[in-house]
Structure 1
Amino acid sequence: MKITLDEINNEQMDVLKEIGNIGAGNATTALATMLNKRIDMKVPKVDILEFNEVTELLGGAEKKICGINFDVDGDINGNIMFLLNMDSSKKLANMLMNKEDHVEELSEWDISALQEVGNILSGAYVRSLTTLTQLDMKISIPSLTVDMAGAILSVPIIQYGQVGDKVLLIETELNEGNNNIKGYFFLIPDVESFEILLKSLGVLE
């Protein structure tokens, strides 16, 4: 029988939380290097939540958000999503494009910049996983969607519902000057990959 996120024990949860902390820290360092700015990160909150709890955390199913999605393949298959509410999306776009004025809507240039930063953040996160697990993982070119939270989250729910109705969520908060940006990473491995991940970390026989 395959293990799912619904069935993990405290030891396994602690290891997954530590991976979340390391991954988020490396992602923040990568962003600071890219921007050549000092970026502070609050200690990430790592939790296992049901999809509907993630939706509520983002403000409800009808709340407009920005979602950057990646396919993961190699020794592990699945998805990584990086989610931002619209306020954080605009602040991050301003920071990336070096703009002072608060934008009302994201332009094509803003969306392109957000895709690139999502690529850098997720790449840093995956490299952390690769280093810790010695597993080979690659991520696809990112796809960015601005839509209601319910619509964006329906994709992984349909694709990976067999892993259970829960995801490993990493809530990160970044601060640069007066900019406060809150983002959410989550990793959704398929059933076989989740077992491989836990075994590689030494917390599953």
Structure 2
Amino acid sequence: MVNLENLNNLHLDVLREIGNIGAGNAATALANMLDKKIDMEVPNVKLLDFNDVATTLGGEESVVAGIYFNLHGDLDGNIMFLLDIVSSKILTGILMGREDYSRELDEMDYSALQEVGNILSGSYIASLSTLTGLNLTLSIPSLCVDMAGAILSVPAIQFGFVTDKVLLIETKLRDGNDLVKANFFLIPNAESFGTLLKSLGVYE
């Protein structure tokens, strides 16, 4: 089992590179879905204490849209695709061809967010699988729009006594002047972090 406190710069650089490639492929998948050019800023990839995740989303009471997956196969854990509420409205507006991003999200928007989360997370996991040679599968996505603290309580309850580290891939996507801030969180259990690093040849 990997001591996550002792990961060195090489380990972190490799995790960042995985995040960069995965996020780039996810952006390409979104562009293909929309049939338009989507620009992506260089992702910010870092290893976070789980307790700091809510802060990156604006605090525990910030309303976010979360698409949640169980990760199975050679790695066990969760994937969470989280958008702040403004980015959620912009993204669904782009998908629906709307210019009014102020309206409240409805059931059709929720369905669209779930589908986008499924496509982007699936693309990310496919990239991870290709890079590592690991067999990885995702569960059917679950969508929740709620305060960040409430959404994050799901993996906290499931893995709170196993690992306190998550890999954050913070991505900014642009369609013209419209900016969507997308956050991918990979939350493997502690043993799976070791499997991931060993598959990349950076951990014995």
**What is the TM-score when the length of structure 1 is the normalising length?**
0.96
The CA deviation at 1:4 is 4.2
Does the residue aligned with 2:160 lie in a helix, a strand or coil?
helix
Match of 1:35 in 2: 34
Deviation at 1:112, TM superposition (A): 0.2
State the 1:63 CA deviation. 1.0
When residues 51 and 191 of structure 1 are mapped into structure 2, their CA distance, relative to the original with a 3 A threshold, is closer
The answer to whether the Cα contact below 8 Å between 1:5 and 1:163 also exists between their aligned partners in 2 is: no
1:23 CA drift (Å): 0.2
- Three-state SS of the structure 2 residue aligned to 1:102 is coil
Once the 2 structures are TM-superposed, how far is the Cα of residue 108 of structure 1 from its aligned partner?
A: 0.4
Query: What fraction of aligned residue pairs are identical, expressed as a percent?
Result: 63
**Aligned residues, how many?**
204
Alpha carbons of structure 1 residues 7 and 159: separation in structure 2 relative to 1, 3 Å: farther
CA distance in 2, matches of 1:191, 1:50: 13
Amino acid at match of 1:133: T
Shift of 1:146: 0.4
State the distance in 2 between where 1:87 and 1:157 align.
25
Distance 1:33 1:196 in 2: 32
Question: Following the alignment from structure 1 to structure 2, what is the Cα–Cα distance between the partners of residues 62 and 102?
Answer: 22
Q: What CA deviation, in whole Å up to 9, does each residue of 1:133-180 have, x standing for no partner?
A: 111101111101001111111111121224432211010000001210
Q: Give, in whole Å, the separation in 2 of the partners of 1:163 and 1:11.
A: 24
Cα-Cα RMSD = 1.1
Query: Quick one: distance in 2 between partners of 1:114 and 1:162?
Result: 30
Deviation per CA, 1:60-119, whole angstroms, max 9, x where unpaired?
111111111011111111100011000000000111111122242111000000100000
| TM-score, normalised by the number of residues in structure 2 | 0.96
1:157-196 paired onto structure 2 within 5 Å: 157-196=156-195
Query: What is the alpha-carbon distance in structure 1 between the residues aligned to residue 105 and residue 85 of structure 2?
Result: 9
